[in-house]
Each structure stands twice: as C-alpha cells, then as structure tokens.
C-alpha cells in the first residue's frame, strides 16, 4: 500500500494530512483523558537529553 507522495494529487495530499492530524489529535485527547500518574513536565526533556537529541544553547 505504499503510496508515493509524488504521485498523489494535491487534494489527496490534503486529505491524507487532515486524516493524520485527526488521528494525532484523537490519540492526544485519549492520552490526556487516561487515568494514572501524570509524568512531571520535565520527564520528556530529561528523556530527550539522555538520548542525546536535546540541544543546549549558551546565553551570552
């Protein structure tokens, strides 16, 4: 089912993007509604920093 984006029409690309955003927002809403402990706000930053994908900038 691998559709190549270059072979898709502009309306097809728009519909695909809209569908992806709807799915992403639905998953995010489900995540926010879940029960259980909510990770601290710094958990995501800590995980990114430990994986080496965080960037640091110095203030001058």
- Report d(CA 30, CA 23) in Å as an integer: 11
- Report d(CA 60, CA 8) in Å as an integer: 47
Q: Is 36 left (phi over 0), alpha (psi -120 to 50) or beta?
A: left
pLDDT in tens, 1-59: 566 878 889 999 999 999 999 999 999 898 888 887 766 666 555 555 555 554 555 45
- Report d(CA 12, CA 15) in Å as an integer: 5
Predicted model pTM? 0.51
Domain boundaries, the chain: 8-51
């Amino acid at each position: 089912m691998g559709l190549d984006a270059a072979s898709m029409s502009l309306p097809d690309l728009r519909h695909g993007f809209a569908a992806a955003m709807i799915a992403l927002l639905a998953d995010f809403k489900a995540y926010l509604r879940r029960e259980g402990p909510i990770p601290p706000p710094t958990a995501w930053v800590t995980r990114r920093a430990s994986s080496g994908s965080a960037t640091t900038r110095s203030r001058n």
